[in-house]
């Protein structure tokens, strides 16, 4: 029994790290623009399919394929902000949300046209044997996922705390008009937030690609679960998103292992409803959830 519980924990941490990276993308954009990008799951899909094309298809070295995929998807996010968001005459929240939903449908359709309806796969990042811990198996790809997620979180934390650009983005997130009055180019900061946010979506797609079948429609459920993780931890909080993702992944894994696999997708939405009812601001609330 202990071995099974430990195996569920490993699986939950792996999935939770993926949800956490997706949630960070949601929170980063929301903290700067107060916009929830419902096309974010499709940027996760673009990350996974980009790796399939560049690494498995063209045979590029993994680090180069990783970098080019993240940069390419981030540039798509850059164009999305410039063409679909910036050009809106009356940028009401509901209008912008509808635009992101439309962008999600558009990107999913483009993904189907480019990569087809068939599922694709890529090998693990390394071919080391699984690590045996008290009888439970920890896959090398799981270690890669957790390490990459922690590295991204740490780099973002240092960026927002130690660089002038990060502090300018933080100031824009706190008060856009006041930041503009002090000379901070708030529109550029918002554009940078889109760039980073969609780049984080690409990272999530890349690290999940070796452990799942990649297809044009894979981003929908991943995006919804990332949103649930962000709400659970506190939308707008970096470490809240990490915490929410890990909690969601672990609870999902134990729910599937101890009860039924049919609960896998339902658990995320049950947690979302519960957190909205009990603690609407998430685990990390109020001002802490408004900034990185």
What is the residue-wise DSSP string for the chain?
-HHHHHHHHHHHHHHHHHHHHHHHHHHHHHHHH----TTHHHHHHHHHHHHIIIIIIS---HHHHHHHHHHHHHHHHHHHIIIIITT-SS--HHHHHHHHHHHHHHHHHHHHHHH-SS-B----S--PPPEEETTEEE-HHHHHHHHHHHHHHHHHHHHHHH-HHHHHHHHHHH-HHHHHHTT--HHHHHHHHHHHHHHHHHHHHHHHGGGS-B-TTTHHHHHHHHHHHHHHH-TT-HHHHHHHHHHHHHHHHHHHHHT-GGGHHHHHHHHHHHHHHH-TT-SS-GGGGS--
pLDDT, tens digit (0-9, with 9 covering 90-100), for 143-200: 999 999 999 999 988 988 888 888 888 788 777 778 888 888 888 888 898 999 999 9
Q: Is the pLDDT of residue 210 over 50?
A: yes
Domain ranges in the chain? 2-115+132-221
pLDDT interval class at 108 (50, 70, 90) = very high
- Per-residue pLDDT of 46-92, as tens digits, reads 999 999 999 989 999 999 999 999 999 999 999 999 998 888 877 78
pTM: 0.91
The whole-chain average pLDDT of the chain stands at: 87
């Amino acid at each position: 029994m202990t071995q099974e519980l430990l195996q569920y924990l490993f699986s939950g941490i792996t999935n939770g790290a993926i949800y956490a990276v997706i949630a960070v993308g949601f929170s980063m954009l929301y903290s700067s623009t107060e916009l929830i990008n419902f096309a974010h799951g499709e940027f996760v899909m673009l990350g996974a399919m980009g790796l399939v094309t560049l690494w498995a298809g063209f045979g590029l070295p993994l680090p180069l394929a990783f970098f080019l995929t993240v940069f390419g998807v981030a540039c798509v996010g850059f164009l999305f902000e410039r063409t679909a968001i910036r050009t809106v005459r009356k940028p009401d929240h509901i209008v912008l949300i509808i635009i992101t939903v439309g962008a999600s449908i558009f990107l999913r359709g483009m993904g189907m046209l480019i990569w087809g309806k068939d599922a694709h796969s890529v090998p693990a990042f390394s071919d080391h044997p699984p690590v045996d811990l008290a009888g439970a198996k920890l896959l090398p790809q799981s270690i890669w996922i957790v390490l990459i997620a922690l590295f991204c979180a740490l780099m973002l934390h240092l960026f927002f705390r130690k660089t002038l650009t990060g502090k300018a983005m933080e100031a824009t997130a706190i008060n856009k008009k006041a930041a503009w009055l002090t000379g901070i180019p708030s529109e550029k900061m918002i554009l940078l937030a889109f760039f980073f946010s969609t780049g984080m979506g690409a990272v999530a797609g890349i690290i999940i690609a070796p452990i799942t079948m990649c297809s044009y429609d894979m981003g929908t459920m991943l995006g919804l679960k990332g949103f649930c993780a962000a709400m659970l931890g506190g939308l707008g909080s970096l470490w809240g998103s990490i915490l929410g993702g890990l909690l969601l992944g672990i609870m999902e894994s134990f729910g599937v292992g101890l009860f039924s696999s049919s609960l896998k997708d339902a658990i995320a939405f049950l947690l979302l409803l519960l957190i909205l009812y009990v603690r609407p601001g998430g685990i990390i609330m109020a001002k802490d959830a408004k900034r990185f």
